Every structure is written in C-alpha cells, then in structure tokens.
Amino acid sequence: MSLAPFKVLLFDCYGDWETGMLENFKPLLEQSSAPDRAKLFEVVGPIENKTQDDDPTALYSDVLTKVYSKTAKKLNLQATDAQAQAYGNSVPSWPAFPDSSKALKRLSDAGLKLVILSNVDNKSFEGSRKRLEDGYSFDAIYTAEKIGSYKPSLRNFDYAIENIKKDFGLEKEDILIVANSKYHDIQPGHKKNLKSAWIDRAKAHMGVEAYKDVKPDYQFQSMDEFATAIIKDKS
C-alpha cells in the first residue's frame, strides 16, 4: 500500500521518552529493591494513564510529579517531594532519538505537513522542540494542555482532524499517524479511521508490550526508514 496519498504526518515527538524517564528515576532505581526496566514501566504506565484520566486538564509536568510519588509508594521505595518535582520538570531534558531530527527535516523538505499531537504541556514541549527542529519548523503543535485532555481520548484526535482541516484545508484521508505507542496513538487513531505507521523503537515498553494485537497499517524500524519510504512513494 503506497504512502503517496498522505500529506500530513501526525506525530507525538517527545523524543526518547523511556530513556528520559529512566534517567530521572535514578533516585528510585539506585535503591536496592528497585525493579529492572521492564518491571518499572509495567508499574509506571498504568499509574500515568490513571493519573491523566483522573485529571485530564492537569499539566503534564504535574502529572509526572504525581507519577513519581505514586510509583515510589507502589514499589515501597523512598522518595522526596523534591525528587518528584524534579521528575515532573524533566521533560525538556529527555533526549531525542538520533534519527528523528534529520528524518523530520527530510520530510519537511519533501513538502509534508508535520503536526504534533502530544501528551505534554506547552512549556515541556519547548525543550523537545529545540532538540528536534533543525532547519525546519513544525507546521502545527497540538498539546494536551491546549486540548484539555490526554490521548488515547478520541477528543484529541477530533481536535487534530478539525484543526488540520481549518489550518491547511486537508481532510482525514490526508493524515497519517506516525508513532510508537499503540495505546496512545495507533489504536485510538484507528477508531477515528486514521491510517498509521508504527515506528518500532527497540525496547520500548509503555503503550507497546500490552498491545501486540493492535496492527498498524505500516511498520518501520526507524524514522529514517519511514522517511525514505514515503519520499520514494511520492517521487
């Protein structure tokens, strides 16, 4: 199935979120009874999802602060308020995947609209934006803070579809979701009849491991591979 018809790419570009999370969970992970990576994310994922569901208008930085404290309590680990606050403010320090910026530049140069639909607050996203934008700019940025809810709420996808039509005059059929999380992006996108390209990031756990039955329309091992494929189809 050709990628040529798509004109808008809908991303959630925090970068390498799990590496960023792990780095900022260090005060917990350094404790002798701390779990390994996979076990940690098995705990963190549901806590984060429920925290967002309980207060969908909360800033993502505040969500993360609560997630840190709740995770420590769930795992019977010691945590301070200062550590939780530092975790909440850590998103701007989360690294980008090494292939993302160059691939996004190639996609922008090819005339594709690059739109962010992210479970993050505006201030936190600015850190990610600085790491990703190099010689191009995102065409639109729709954050959870702007929308007032978190994915996988279909409200977020309705917002994106409506604003893409308003901002660019493009329809749902022109949009392709490009993401790693099957829980946050691929599955709810399919409920809105949006096509999806899954970027299979090695070792990614949150929103992936428990959703192996969710089948994307396309699958790639990296953003670079995806960019090469869609540019080839459009040539």
pLDDT digits (tens, 9 = 90+) for 129-185: 887 888 899 999 999 999 999 999 999 999 999 999 999 999 999 999 999 889 999
Within 8 A by CB and 6+ apart from 124, the residues are 59, 60, 61, 89, 91, 92
Element (H, E) at 39: helix 37-54
| Residue 3 placed within a domain | no
Asked if the structure places residue 102 within a domain, the reply is yes
Residue 19: which pLDDT band, with cuts at 50, 70 and 90? confident
User: For the chain, what percent of residues have pLDDT higher than 70?
Assistant: 94
Residue 223's pLDDT is 92
Residue 230 falls inside a structural domain: yes
**147, part of any domain:** yes
Residue 17's pLDDT is 80
Q: How far apart are CA 38 and CA 162, in angstroms?
A: 37
Domain with 62, as residue range(s), is 17-93
Cα angle 161-180-162, degrees, rounded to a multiple of 5: 5
Annotated active-site residue 12? The verdict is yes
The predicted structure's pLDDT at residue 35 = 83
Tokens read off for 121: 């607050």
Count of CB atoms within 10 A of residue 153's CB?
Answer: 19
pLDDT at residue number 18: 83
Give me the chain's average pLDDT, please. 91
What is residue 209's predicted lDDT score, i.e. its pLDDT?
63
Whether 135 and 87 map to the same domain: the answer is no
The answer to which of 10-14, 65-69, 72-76 has the lowest mean pLDDT is 10-14
Q: Given this model, what pLDDT does residue 202 score?
A: 63
Res 210: pLDDT: 60
63 and 84: one domain? yes
Q: Is the pTM of this model over 0.85?
A: yes
Considering 12, 16, 121, 185, which one is annotated as catalytic?
Answer: 12
pLDDT, residue 36, reads 83
Rounded Cα gap, residues 28 and 104, in angstroms: 34
- Indicate the pLDDT class of residue 212, thresholds 50, 70 and 90: confident
- Considering the domain architecture, whether residues 101 and 77 belong to the same structural domain is answered as no
DSSP designation for 215: -
Full DSSP string of 164-192: HHHHH---GGGEEEEES-IIIIIHHHHHT
Same domain, 220 and 143: yes
- How many domains, the chain? 2
